[in-house]
Structure 1
Amino acid sequence: MSPISSGCEKTLQVGVVLPWPPFVFDGEQALTGIDVEISRLVLTHAGFCSQFVSLPSSKRGLVELEKGRVDILTAASFNQQRAQYSHFSTPYRREKMRLFWYEDAKYLTHDLASLLAQQKTIAVNNGGYYGKEFEQLSKVTNNKDLLVRVPLLKHRLYMLKAKRVDFMIDDEISGLYLISQEKIPGITLHPYVIHDNPIHFMLSKKTVTMDNVRSINAAIIDMQSNIKQIIASYTY
């Protein structure tokens, strides 16, 4: 947890799931990573202090935000259910959700529905949002046992490595980064893109005002070149 800075009008509690490289790292002195650095940059520019709160899962983060026990979640995809209890900021980056697998030529042209129809098992984040297609398919009774919900990316990756599942769905940047760091050969990206969407901050309607949201949105727009530099420093 990072220390609270002095001299700010308001300190916002920012919930993050640890670890989620390269977006969130637990450093020796303070948290770091793409989303942590962008959060600090934007909130400071908007006139706020920030305190980062470690969360065990994305699902828990949504509960904490709805109850107002954290003010902000990073890396959020918009959907109507979440919008009932949170404001969404202007997007600050994009996210591609991809299928990771050990390549098998028989399934190169399959989409998500076809893979599930073939009884393929898929590790997914508990509480993650993967778009409308995934949301609809996940409600089909025959698919529920095929979607294995695991909170941490590293655990999902090692389930795939051990071939306890056939695929995992994850953010393209974080998945490729961890595969490289763990030096796991053979796992690649399936051609089918699950979801390509803008990423926002979610802000609790219980604790964050619309004036606060407008300040944060203005900071995101002002800091676009700096945000791009932060992302590039971790991915190139």
Structure 2
Amino acid sequence: MSEMGELDVISHLSVSEQRKAHFAFIGPHHIESIYLVGDPTTLPTLDTLQQLTSGIDLGSIATLHGGYYGEEFARLALQPALASQLVSISSIQDKLALLRAGRVNVILEDLSVLRYWQQHQFADAARFQPLLKVYESPVYFGFSKTSLSASQLRMLADSWQRLYQQGELVPIYQKYQIDELKKLQPTPLL
């Protein structure tokens, strides 16, 4: 869709070589921290991701269809012991519903989403906890290089830089409990 100019902006985009060809990255605006999330009272303890390929079976692990969970996870997911545990789901809401219903034991989810569920007292949210960090990465606004000109992209990057330097973004970061401001220093990739 982005190649044909049908998609102008994506709000939560992590950088990859493939995506760089189609998107300019403005931000970052968030540090995505992906965890295995589940009920720790019913699951074995994990110390490393590699354990999922050598003996620890969590049952069904819901992933977001098309989600990116880092190089290590992608490599390990090719191994039969982990691949057999993975279930691809089409939305975050469906992942949560399946977890709450006991249809999956674990989901891969951003820590900020889990905190949102808990803060807004979604049913059973307090029962689910982060079990193991899988991946951490800055996420950006992705603007289509097909839809927008180089000068428009430069203007957006400069505007984001100005907002950051003037401190306009700090109250937003604080509201959403983002405390790693150094990691959010603007680094546009045009």
TM-score (normalizing by structure 2):
0.79
Matched, 1:131 2:70: yes
Cα offset, 1:144, TM superposition: 3.1
| Larger RCO (CA under 8 A, 6+ residues apart) | 2
Q: Deviations over 1:63-101 (max 9, x none)?
A: x32331121111111111222222222422222111211
Provide the C-alpha distance between the structure 2 equivalents of 1:114 and 1:98, rounded to a whole number of angstroms: 15
Q: Deviations over 1:114-163 (max 9, x none)?
A: 13442322111112211111222233345334221112222211211222
Cα offset, 1:106, TM superposition: 6.8
Matched, 1:213 2:150: no
Contact 2:13 2:142 (C-alpha < 8 Å) held by counterparts? yes
Q: Deviations over 1:162-196 (max 9, x none)?
A: 22222111111112212443131411111x21111
Contact 1:66 1:86 (C-alpha < 8 Å) held by counterparts? no
Inter-CA distance 161–116: structure 2 relative to 1 (3 Å threshold): farther
Provide the C-alpha distance between the structure 2 equivalents of 1:149 and 1:194, rounded to a whole number of angstroms: 17
Contact 1:87 1:203 (C-alpha < 8 Å) held by counterparts? yes
Residue 232 of structure 1 is matched in structure 2 by 174
Structure 1 residues not aligned, in runs of 5+:
1-63
SS in 2 for 1:74: strand
SS in 1 for 2:146: coil
Structure 2 residues not aligned, in runs of 5+:
179-190
Provide the C-alpha distance between the structure 2 equivalents of 1:65 and 1:228, rounded to a whole number of angstroms: 31
Q: Pick from 178, 187, 195: which aligns with 2:128?
A: 187
Matched, 1:95 2:32: yes
Cα offset, 1:235, TM superposition: 4.4
Inter-CA distance 180–155: structure 2 relative to 1 (3 Å threshold): farther
Contact 2:37 2:109 (C-alpha < 8 Å) held by counterparts? yes
Provide the C-alpha distance between the structure 1 equivalents of 2:108 and 2:128, rounded to a whole number of angstroms: 12
Residue 46 of structure 1 is matched in structure 2 by none
Inter-CA distance 82–141: structure 2 relative to 1 (3 Å threshold): farther
Structure 1 residue ranges (4+ consecutive) displaced by more than 6 angstroms after TM superposition: none
TM-score (normalizing by structure 1):
0.65
Contact 2:52 2:82 (C-alpha < 8 Å) held by counterparts? no
SS in 2 for 1:66: helix
The aligned length equals 172
SS in 2 for 1:100: strand
Report which stretch shifted further, 198-207 or 176-185: 176-185
Matched, 1:202 2:142: yes
Provide the C-alpha distance between the structure 2 equivalents of 1:199 and 1:183, rounded to a whole number of angstroms: 28
Q: Which residue identity does 1:123 align to in structure 2?
A: A
Contact 1:71 1:203 (C-alpha < 8 Å) held by counterparts? yes
Provide the C-alpha distance between the structure 1 equivalents of 2:53 and 2:102, rounded to a whole number of angstroms: 16
Contact 1:65 1:203 (C-alpha < 8 Å) held by counterparts? no
RMSD over equivalenced CA pairs, Å: 2.3
Contact 1:138 1:144 (C-alpha < 8 Å) held by counterparts? yes
Contact 1:92 1:220 (C-alpha < 8 Å) held by counterparts? no
